[in-house]
Amino acid sequence: TMDKFRMIFQFLQSNQESFMNGICGIMALASAQMYSAFDFNCPCLPGYNAAYSAGILLAPPLVLFLLGLVMNNNVSMLAEEWKRPPGRRAKDPAVLRYMFCSMAQRALIAPVVWVAVTLLDGKCFLCAFCTAVPVTALGNGSLAPGLPAPELARLLARVPCPEIYDGDWLLAREVAVRYLRCISQALGWSFVLLTTLLAFVVRSVRPCFTQAAFLKSKYWSHYIDIERKLFDETCTEHAKAFAKVCIQQFFEAMNHDLELGHTHGTLATAPASAAAPIPPDGAEEEREKLRGITDQGTMNRLLTSWHKCKPPLQLGREEPPLMGNGWAGGGPRPPRKEVATYFSKV
C-alpha cells in the first residue's frame, strides 16, 4: 500500500503542471456546485440589498482565489525567491512576474466561474438593482411621481421577495424580474466572452511578441523549481544518512561499554586487546552520503549560506570554501585529502 502511495506521489510530482490544472478544474466545478447549493436570501430592504449582493458576488471569489494560491506549491517558492538576499546570484524581476502570473492564471479559474454563474443566474443582480427599475417606463408612470422617494424605494426593494411584495398596483413584479434578469444575463455572457478573449491573448498571442523574454522567464522559473526540489531531496538523503550513522555509533558505543563492564570482573588480569572495529555493511556508503558534513554546526552554516548566498549560475567554476555564515575567500579551493582505510575480516 505504501509503495502505491509513493508511486502516486512521484507521478504527481513529475506531472505537477497537469496536476495543478486538474485541481483548478475541480475547484471550478466545485464553485459552480457551491452556488447551486447556496440558498440565496435577499433581505429586501433598501439599505441592505446592494451590500448583501456585493458580498455574495465578491467574497466567495476572493476566498476561491486565495485557496487556489494556497493549494499551489509554487507559492512558497515564489516568496522564498522574492525575499532571499541577492548574495552571489541576482534576482530577475521578469522571472518573479512569470511565476506569479502562472499561479494567478490557475487560481482565477474558480472565481471567474463563480462570477459568471452568479450573473447568468440573475438573483444577485436582481437583489442589488431592484430599486433602480424605471417605474415610469415599465409600470404605472402616473402614480410614481406622487409617491415619496423612501416609500418608492421600500416597495421596489421587495421585488425579489414574492411573498412580501405588495406593489403590483405600481409595477408588475414579473416585469421587473424579467427586465433585471435580462440585463444580468447579458452582463454574464459579456463577462464570459471578455475573460475568454483575455485568456486567449495571454496564453497564445503574448508569447509571439515577446518570445525571447518568455522563453528566458519560463526556463529560469523551471530551473528554480527543479533546484529547490533537488536541494530538498539532497537534504533528505543527508538527514537519513546522518541519522543512520549517528544511531549506529550510539549502538556501537553502548555495545562496547557493555562488553567492558561484563569482562571487567572475570578477565581483570587478562591483557586488553585493541581489535579494530569492523564496520557494518553499508557504513561506508552512508558516510559518503554525508559529503563531509558530519556535525550540526557545519550543517547549520551550510543551510544559512544556501539561503543568504546561493552559488552563481556559472558551471565549471570552483567555489571558495564555506566559512562562517557565507562564502569567503577568493582563491581556489584547497585540495581535499582522501584517506583510504582497509579492514580485514578474520
pLDDT digits (tens, 9 = 90+) for 249-264: 888 888 877 777 666 5
**Strand, coil or helix: 215:** helix
Task: Tell me the angle at which helices 109-121 and 49-70 cross, rounded to the nearest 10 degrees.
Answer: 160
Beta-bridge partner residues of 327: 322
Q: Alpha-carbon distance 88 to 194, whole Å?
A: 44
- Confidence label for 27 from pLDDT (cuts 50, 70 and 90): confident
Q: Look at residue 263 in the predicted model and tell me its pLDDT.
A: 61
Residue 339 has pLDDT above 70, yes or no: no
In 301-346, at which residue ranges do the beta strands (DSSP E only) sit?
A: 322-323, 326-327
Q: Look at residue 11 in the predicted model and tell me its pLDDT.
A: 55
- Confidence label for 1 from pLDDT (cuts 50, 70 and 90): low
Among residues of the chain, what percentage have pLDDT more than 70?
A: 75
Q: Which of 129-133, 143-147, 173-177, 255-259 has the lowest mean pLDDT?
A: 143-147
Q: Give this prediction's pTM.
A: 0.70
Please tell me the total number of residues recorded for the chain in this structure.
346
Q: Alpha-carbon distance 222 to 212, whole Å?
A: 16
Q: Look at residue 39 in the predicted model and tell me its pLDDT.
A: 82
Which has more confidence, 107 or 208? 107
DSSP label of 122: -
Reported as a single tens digit per residue, the pLDDT across 52-106 is 999 999 999 999 999 888 888 788 888 888 888 887 888 888 888 888 988 888 8
Residue 268 has pLDDT above 90, yes or no: no
Q: Which of 42-46, 202-206, 307-311 has the lowest mean pLDDT?
A: 202-206
**Strand, coil or helix: 152:** helix
Q: Look at residue 281 in the predicted model and tell me its pLDDT.
A: 54
- DSSP H helical ranges for 201-282: 206-209, 211-266
Average pLDDT, the chain: 79
User: Could you give the C-alpha distances from 343 to 194, 207, 279, in angstroms and in order?
Assistant: 75, 62, 8
CB 310 within 8 A of CB 87: yes
- Confidence label for 160 from pLDDT (cuts 50, 70 and 90): very high
CB 139 within 8 A of CB 152: no
Q: Alpha-carbon distance 38 to 53, whole Å?
A: 13
